Structures are given as structure tokens and as C-alpha cells.
Amino acid sequence: MGASAAENGRAAAGEAEFLAAYDPREFPPVAVTVDIVLLTLRHGLLSVLLIRRRDHPYQGYWALPGGFADPDEDLEQAAQRELLEETGLSTFPGHLEQLRTYGRPERDPRMRVISVAYLGMVPGITRPEAGSDAAVARLWPVEDVLSDDEQVRPQLAFDHATIIEDGLERVRSKLEYTSLATAFVEEPFTIADLRRVYETVWGVELDYGNFRRKVLNTDGFVEPTGDTAPTGRGYADLYRAGRTTLLQPAMLRPDSRGR
Amino acid sequence: MGASAAENGRAAAGEAEFLAAYDPREFPPVAVTVDIVLLTLRHGLLSVLLIRRRDHPYQGYWALPGGFADPDEDLEQAAQRELLEETGLSTFPGHLEQLRTYGRPERDPRMRVISVAYLGMVPGITRPEAGSDAAVARLWPVEDVLSDDEQVRPQLAFDHATIIEDGLERVRSKLEYTSLATAFVEEPFTIADLRRVYETVWGVELDYGNFRRKVLNTDGFVEPTGDTAPTGRGYADLYRAGRTTLLQPAMLRPDSRGR
DNA sequence: GTAATAGTGTCTGTGAGACATTATGGC
DNA sequence: GCCATAATGTCTCACAGACACTATTAC
């Protein structure tokens, strides 16, 4: 694509340089990794997938799943590949998006490492135990991971605590203005299932009636399957995700009412 | 920091490896650059700073300001440094935030280049002409940059059209729920100045009375200086930015009303 | 029967959109 | 005088929060 002629004929000279590769000595040495904040609902708790490190530095510490991006691989592909490798799943069943890039010079003691973080959400079916190594991959409740209590909090490698915090903030705010909550539940789901997602991620209680009215009045958010499912006592209508991704108007988070 | 002992004594062996650097042959060769989408209001148009490329590839094409991140430099620092170098300014007068990272394997024909894009907003005082090279740095109205008309649209290098589009979408949505609009005007400013920011960035007309009520009722958005300024006909009250960065409730974009 | 949950409706307050009105100063 | 703009107020509708009520089923 760059081979098409440059505009207004000003780029006449030096066409031969075009295919010249960078001289590695010309630019600073750096490694690029991807890390994934994979969130799911497990036992009614919002949980994040962590891997226990085998190697130095931070040996024995808990880290986000991730690794180097291969040379011919898109970053999102790399994130997905690493995730499948470390969970043992064969296809990625949820939503994956880029979160943010972390590049503090001292974040890895060995050399300059730039990490492109991704954020993933999957229904609560993830079983890292089924994957490669049951002893090293685990789902941690985020309230424990970010707890002030050193007894319950895992030791996190690198700047992964910051990355997890940023991921959480992203998820919490995206529940407000997108239909992302549906990525946390398997289809078909009930209104109550969806409410549970909001309540768990936001850490609040929501009025069932108002929640239901809001979801059903926002068209494209969910669509009824026509079926119902027994729910212990009584039956509940079943839904699947609609085609709308942006909620209009947004779902309001109770916290944010009082500023 | 990584030097503190790993938890539960499980990390006993191999402490010597800790300081070992990566072997460069172990990880894929890659370069990391930062690119900046610098937006400002110029002659009533939302405009973006572009640099005309001197070298191949894309010689003569227009590109976002940017360059390699130095080894000991934070990514945001690198973005700010590049921006100052290419505009000739001595301090950065506005808001700068990370936008997104672009890493498609083919985005640079020479080698794998990962670009961490930043988004900057400055009041309409930027004069790239005062900077290093008047012939190569220019502010382009974004409506021209992203126009379908090949006569008015500059030829953009790499995937910079995508980056600019993403930056625009970010700015437009952040005007809704943050007080970011104040980054586009110099203090003190009038309510009408602020309204002009919204109208220009969103490309809509807003009712002055409703806009004023909204801004003044959202406490912390702006605070009155007590002064007034002549505005051609009559005088207008002057304000400066308040301490609130998150608008609660959000400013509604007229487009989005009808879905 | 009671308890728990799904589904539904009602009342009220907040806030946004669509105006109208008044004041000020340049022309 | 006219006109543009700043500042302010009014009316109405949409919608969220609070809460009441009914139906269904497990126990």
C-alpha cells in the first residue's frame, strides 16, 4: 500500500530506501507483551484469572496471563492465543477488548517491557483447572485481590495490581452505557441473571422492578426467546442478547447519583 | 521492589537468575513508537496537527507527530517530548491522555512497529509555524482530513487515519461525561466559549439557555471569576474550570437522543 | 399455611428540550 | 430605531427511584 506514489510529486528521490529495514541499532531495545485481565462471575463473586509465576523475577508471585506477541500476530490475536493456552479452552467464549498500555521504564527489572493489556469477560463457566496446569492457574475474587488485608491478598507481580484496577474501572463504567453485561452470562438468561451481573460488578443492590423496566424499555438490549425456565419458585422468562451495544439512555449506577 | 523476598518461601531456588537480562534472541524484534493526535479549535474548526514526512516509507504523506520512546522514558513523557519538539512550544499547555495502541503486523512495511497513541487537546493558540519547521507541521481541519473528497483530504501515512478517527470518537464521547471541554479554551472563558467547543466538536447546535443552565447546575464544572468581558454587544460573565472532572449527570449529545 | 421470587403498576421528583422574555450595547 | 447576544424564566415530557401489589411454586 505504501508503494503507491506519494502525492504532488515531491517524493521523487530516494525511492530505493523504501524497502530498507530498520537498523536494530537505530532504535531502543524493547520487548512487547500482552497481558489479559480476564473477568468472570464465580460463586457470586467477580473474579480474575491469575497465574503463579515459575520464573524470576517475581517467582511465586501471581501474575496476569500473557506473554510475548509473535512477530506476525495482531495484538488481540496474541491476547486470545495466550488466554487459550493458559486456560486450556479451545475457543474464547466471551468479549475481549484492549484496555491500556503500560510502559513505565522500571516495570520489569530486566529490560524495557511494554505491556499491552486486554480486558476479557466470560460467563462463569471458566475452569482453568481443565487447562494446562491446575496448580498455577486460579480464579481470584477481585475483592480479595485488591484487599488491604495482606492475609487474603495475593502478591502480584510487576504492575499487575494497577492493571487489574484499571480493568475493573473499565468494566464498571462500560456496564453503564453498553450491553456488555450480557457477556458475563450464558444464553438464554433471565432478567434476574442480568441483574446479578450488575449487582456483583457494581457491588450494589438494584430494585428488581425498576431494573426490569429499564432493560425491557431499552430496545435492542435483550430479546425474549419465548421460553421460560423454572427458578426454584416459579418460572422466569428467558432472553438472549439483543443487537444493540450502546445503551440509550445509559443505565445509572446508584453510587454515582450522590457524586 | 522485585528484590523483596517472594511469598511463602516457595521461591527459594534460582535467585541468581533474578538480575539476568533477557537474551535479545529470545523475544521477537519490535520497535515501540508514540504518536499523538493533537486537537485544537482553529478558526472555528476542530483541527489536528500533522507532519509532512521527509523519509520513506510514505515520503511526502502526512503523519501524526511522534517517534521512538527513549529507553528510560515513560510513554506519556515521550509523547509530550515529541510534541514539544515538533511544535516548538516550551511547555505543553493542555490535556494529554493515552488513546490506544496499534500493532497490526503490516502497519509499517519495514518491521514490526507498535505504536502507542496519545490524545492531546490544547486551546486554539498552537502555532506550529513558530516551531521547528514551518513547511512540515500544519493544523488540518478534521473534516478535511477525514473527508471522502480526495481533493481536500491529505494522504495519511500508515494507519494514522484510523488513529485520528479513534481519537475523534474519544473526544466526542468524553465531552459528554467529563469537563474536558475546558481544555480547548483559555481561561477565563465565557459560557458561550464553552458552548462553541461542544458545538464544534459535536458538529451540532446547542440551545444557549439550556446549555448555560446545565453547565451552571453541574457543580464543579466551572466557577465564576466575578469578572465580565465585552463581547461585541454587551458583556458576558467569565469563568474558569472547576475541580470536577466527571460530569454528573452527563451532558447529553443531541444526536444520541434519537438513538 | 409461609417464604421467596417474577412480573406489573403507581406516584413523585429531577432534569432536559423547546421555547419566550428582558437587558445591553454596537450599528 | 434595529439586531445580535447574554441572561433568565416557564412549560412539558421522559424517565429513574421508591414502593405496593399479585401470581406462582417450593417448603
pLDDT tens, per residue, chain B with 259 residues = 433 433 333 333 344 444 455 565 567 789 999 999 999 999 999 999 999 998 889 999 999 999 999 989 999 999 999 999 988 888 999 999 999 999 999 999 989 999 999 999 999 865 555 445 545 889 999 999 999 999 999 999 999 999 999 999 999 999 999 999 999 999 999 999 999 999 999 999 999 999 999 999 999 999 999 999 998 778 999 999 999 999 999 999 986 433 3
Q: What backbone phi and psi angles, to 5 degrees, belong to A63?
A: -135, 160
Q: For B256, which residue in chain A has the nearest alpha carbon?
A: A248
A34, A59, A98, A169: which to substitute to probe chain B, counting the most B Cβ within 10 Å? A59
CB hemisphere CA count around B69 (13 angstroms): 33
Bond from prior residue into B128 cis (ω within 30 degrees of 0): no
The span from the CA of B109 to the CA of B31, in Å, is: 13
CATH of B27-173, one of 3.90.1170.50, 3.20.20.140, 3.90.79.10, 3.40.50.150: 3.90.79.10
Q: Is there a contact between B116 and A103 if contact means CB atoms under 8 Å apart?
A: yes
A160: chain B residues, CB-CB within 8 Å: none
The span from the CA of B98 to the CA of B161, in Å, is: 17
A256: chain B residues, CB-CB within 8 Å: 248
Band of pLDDT at residue A18, cut at 50, 70 and 90: very low
Quick one: cell of B90?
516550551
The span from the CA of B220 to the CA of B242, in Å, is: 5
Asked if strand D contacts B228 at the CB level, meaning under 7 A, the answer is yes
B55: chain A residues, CB-CB within 8 Å: 14, 17
User: Among partner residues A6, A30, A101, which is closest to B61 by beta-carbon distance?
Assistant: A6
Q: How far is the CA of A254 from the C1' of C11 (A)?
A: 20
Per-residue model confidence as pLDDT tens digits over A30-83: 999 999 999 999 999 999 999 999 888 999 999 999 999 999 999 999 999 999
Task: Answer yes or no: are the C-beta atoms of B82 and B34 closer than 8 Å.
Answer: yes
The span from the CA of A126 to the CA of A93, in Å, is: 9
The span from the CA of B24 to the CA of B26, in Å, is: 5
Q: How far is CA A238 from the centre of its chain?
A: 26
Taken in order B108, B109, B111, B112, the sign of the CA dihedral is positive
Which helix (H) or strand (E) segment holds residue A171: the answer is helix A160-177
Give chain A residues 80-109 with Cβ within 7 A of strand C: none
Domain borders along chain A are 25-159, 176-257
Q: For A105, which residue in chain B has the nearest alpha carbon?
A: B72
| Nearest nucleotide over every DNA/RNA strand to the A252 CA, judged by C1' | D16
**Helical spans, DSSP H, in B88-159:** 142-145
Collapsed DSSP state (helix, strand, coil) of residue A231: coil
Mean pLDDT of A79-105: 94
Enumerate the nucleotides of strand C whose atoms come under 7 Å of any protein CB: 3-10, 15-20, 23-26
Residue A171 contacts by C-beta under 8 Å, 6 or more apart in sequence?
A: A39, A119, A121, A180, A201
Minimum distance, in Å, between the CA of residue B102 and any CA atom of chain A: 8
Report the 10 Å Cβ neighbour count for A220.
Answer: 15
Q: Is there a contact between B28 and A71 if contact means CB atoms under 8 Å apart?
A: yes
Domain A25-159: what homologous superfamily?
Nucleoside Triphosphate Pyrophosphohydrolase (3.90.79.10)
Q: How far is CA A154 from the centre of its chain?
A: 20
The span from the CA of A145 to the CA of A152, in Å, is: 8
pLDDT at residue number A231: 87
Asked if strand C contacts A248 at the CB level, meaning under 7 A, the answer is no
Is A176-257 in CATH node 1.10.10.10?
A: yes
The CATH architecture that domain B178-257 belongs to is Orthogonal Bundle (1.10)
The span from the CA of A212 to the CA of B104, in Å, is: 41
The span from the CA of B67 to the CA of A10, in Å, is: 23
Position of cell 463457566?
A: A125
Q: Quote the percentage of chain A above a pLDDT of 70.
A: 83
Q: What burial class does residue B226 get, using C-beta atoms within 10 Å of its C-beta: 0-12 exposed, 13-18 middle, 19+ buried?
A: exposed
Q: Is there a contact between B110 and A6 if contact means CB atoms under 8 Å apart?
A: no
The span from the CA of A129 to the CA of A257, in Å, is: 41
Give chain A residues 233-252 with Cβ within 7 A of strand D: 233-235, 249, 252
Strands B45-52 and B31-42: antiparallel
Name the more confident of A25 and A78: A78
The per-type count for chain B, helices as H runs and strands as E runs, is 6, 9
Quick one: cell of B142?
478534521
Asked if strand D contacts B214 at the CB level, meaning under 7 A, the answer is no
**Helical spans, DSSP H, in chain B:** 75-87, 142-145, 160-177, 191-202, 208-217, 254-257
The residues facing B133 across adjacent strands are none
Asked if strand C contacts A225 at the CB level, meaning under 7 A, the answer is no
The span from the CA of A104 to the CA of A113, in Å, is: 8
